[in-house]
Amino acid sequence: MLRRQFIQSSSLALAAAAPAADDDAAWLKIREEQFSLPDWRAYLNTGSVGAAPNRVVKATNDYLAQGASYATDQYPRWGYEPMDAHRTALAKFLGTTKEELALTHNATESMSLIANGLDLKPGDEVLITDQEHPSGRGCWLLKQARTGIKIREAKIPIPPDSADQIAEALLSQIRPETRVISFSGITTHTGLLFPIQKICAAARAKGVITVVDGAHLAGQIPFRIDDFGCDVFAGSLHKWMLTPPGCGVLYVNKNFQSKLWPTIVVDGWQNSKDAVKYMQLGCNNRAELEGTLEALRFIEELGPQRIYDRIHNLAQYAYTRAKQVPYLKVLSSSDPALYGGMVAFEVDRPDYAPLWTKLAQRKVWTLRGPKIRISSHIHTRRSDIDLFFDTLKEVFG
């Protein structure tokens, strides 16, 4: 009871405090009060995994501790139960219905459940893009090895000029043998936002199954799955929604559930009337889902649009700074509507190692690789982005 009162009062304070996108001082206060990120950490890699707010960690830990002390057979689990309350809350936030939403551990698992669960025959083609994450490629490569399907990759222009250009690059590759189109809503290395609705509408009109890898969507941009018009959607919640690690979703359109087999089941799956049949995974860590509900409350109190406005403001700042560096090839589009909270670029230098060393010394963390990606979330300070670019300048001039 006391805990609930505490959460309610801190929630009200948070709602009243949701600041404007450029109010750096107010967002800094939220970082200091709500996160345990130390002052010396510039964390610019939410795109890999998010930093959970303190109250999310607390809700998760409390539930775990309570379970350890109860230790009865009645201790609630997930993996067998339908988790109606959790699915209802998440479905509302994600713009769909509980009946179409299954809880999973991450987008990787959801993508594999999709690829594995489809009946495809040798020669059927799956069209993906050259921008897919290993999780969005590997699942189809496995299917290819087992069943002899074909995989084709559409080349997406980087940086793209417009949403129409992206849609055209993908849709123009559909052939008579194309059965599935599988693409990222927001791409992993380039942070590019695809025109999901347009692609799905055109593909479905041709009878092609539409698969959206939405690993980066929940919490980064406001959206409704139902508006996408896709058959299936794979999501991770532990990136931009700031849940504990190991929380994801699988959306399966109600009209498509008869065409997607479940992969991991317990007896009784035959009787499942809805997406529950895709989440019968055996005993799982329920505490993570309590943390997820707390993360959902946190995001809703601040407001998904306010959060987007802030992280997009910071991403535009990162884009502007990147454009000022002559030896950077910026991979994000000059149209800010084509990215949310992630900006990416390549450095025209043969050896990145001195940069990684210096960034590690300064405790700056980005996605590393030939493509460098900066993710901004609400705990990101403008000075974190400055520190990255100042370090780059120090190393490469």
In 3D space, the residue among 338, 339, 135 whose CA is nearest the CA of residue 248 turns out to be 135
User: How far is Cα 250 from Cα 253, in angstroms, rounded to an integer?
Assistant: 10
User: How far is Cα 319 from Cα 341, in angstroms, rounded to an integer?
Assistant: 10
Burial grade of 167 (CB within 10 A; 0-12, 13-18, 19 or more): buried
Binding-site size for ligand PLP (CB under 6 A) equals: 14
Q: Please select the residue that binds ligand PLP; options are 97, 178, 188, 284, rule is CB under 6 A.
A: 188
> Whose Cβ is closer to ligand PLP: residue 50's or residue 262's?
50
Question: Going residue by residue from 45 to 74, which x/- string records binding to ligand PLP, judged by CB under 6 A?
Answer: --xx--------------------------
Query: What distance separates the 2 farthest-apart alpha carbons in the chain?
Result: 64
User: How far is Cα 28 from Cα 356, in angstroms, rounded to an integer?
Assistant: 26
Give the nearest distance from C-beta 357 to ligand PLP in angstroms.
24
Q: Does 112 bind ligand PLP (CB under 6 A)?
A: no
> Whose Cβ is closer to ligand PLP: residue 78's or residue 233's?
233
33: which 2 tokens? Answer: 């009060």
107-117 vs 134-147: helix crossing angle, rounded to 10: 20
> Whose Cβ is closer to ligand PLP: residue 47's or residue 160's?
47
Q: Does 215 bind ligand PLP (CB under 6 A)?
A: yes
260: which 2 tokens? Answer: 């997607």
Chain residues 279-338 in contact with ligand PLP, contact rule CB under 6 A: none
> Whose Cβ is closer to ligand PLP: residue 136's or residue 160's?
136
355: which 2 tokens? Answer: 């940069």
Q: Please select the residue that binds ligand PLP; options are 136, 160, 262, 340, rule is CB under 6 A.
A: 136
Q: Does 366 bind ligand PLP (CB under 6 A)?
A: no
Residue appearing with tokens 């370090």:
391
Q: Does 133 bind ligand PLP (CB under 6 A)?
A: yes
Residues that bind ligand PLP (CB under 6 A): 47-48, 106-108, 133, 135-136, 184, 188, 213, 215-216, 236
